[in-house]
Amino acid sequence: MTVQIKVRKGSVRPIHEAKDATPQAQTVEGLEALAEAEGIDLGDISRDELLVGIGVEYEHGSRKGEDVNVTKDEDGPALKIAVAHLREIPDYYTRLAAMEAEAKAAVDTGDTPPEDELPVEEPQVEGRRRRVQGLSR
């Protein structure tokens, strides 16, 4: 089932209850309409990655509690977060899914190191922008 989004003068408002927060832009056409309403150039960003991404970024809404609700359960902020990730790493959500699956498997089997043994790398600073080693383009 495709849910319609309401686009009014550059803003998109959710047409759902916050407790049932899910992205309204669930089709390529919906994403493109939302991006246009928000003034975002999607360029060559993979629409498949973006469809996954907007859903993933809803975790920054009321699902985790009102005190950390960044997106306010609206598509616009979730889209902006997803686009920002995909502009830096074009397959960000594919990589994220693989990393989360690996981490979940490790937790489920108890194969996780104690916190004081976790490897921590300092981010490399390049000009005014911080880049994490291995993820820079």
Q: What is the pLDDT of residues 45-55, one digit of tens each?
A: 999 999 999 88
User: Does residue 84 form part of some domain?
Assistant: yes
User: Does residue 52 form part of some domain?
Assistant: yes
**What average pLDDT does the structure give for the chain?**
76
| Maximum separation of any 2 CA atoms in the chain, in Å | 51
User: Does residue 136 form part of some domain?
Assistant: no
Domain count, the chain: 1
User: Does residue 107 form part of some domain?
Assistant: yes
Q: Residue 69 carries which DSSP code? A: -
Asked if residue 31 lies in contact with residue 50, where contact means CB atoms within 8 angstroms, the answer is yes
Which structural domain, as residue segments, surrounds residue 88? 6-113+120-131
User: Does residue 137 form part of some domain?
Assistant: no
User: What is the value of pTM for the model shown?
Assistant: 0.66
Q: Is 45 helix (H, G, I), strand (E, B) or coil?
A: coil
User: Does residue 100 form part of some domain?
Assistant: yes
Q: Residue 134 carries which DSSP code? A: T
Q: What is the pLDDT of residues 67-101, one digit of tens each?
A: 989 988 888 999 999 999 999 999 999 999 999 99
* Cα separation, 20 vs 73, whole angstroms: 9
Q: How many CB atoms lie within 10 A of CB 84?
A: 13
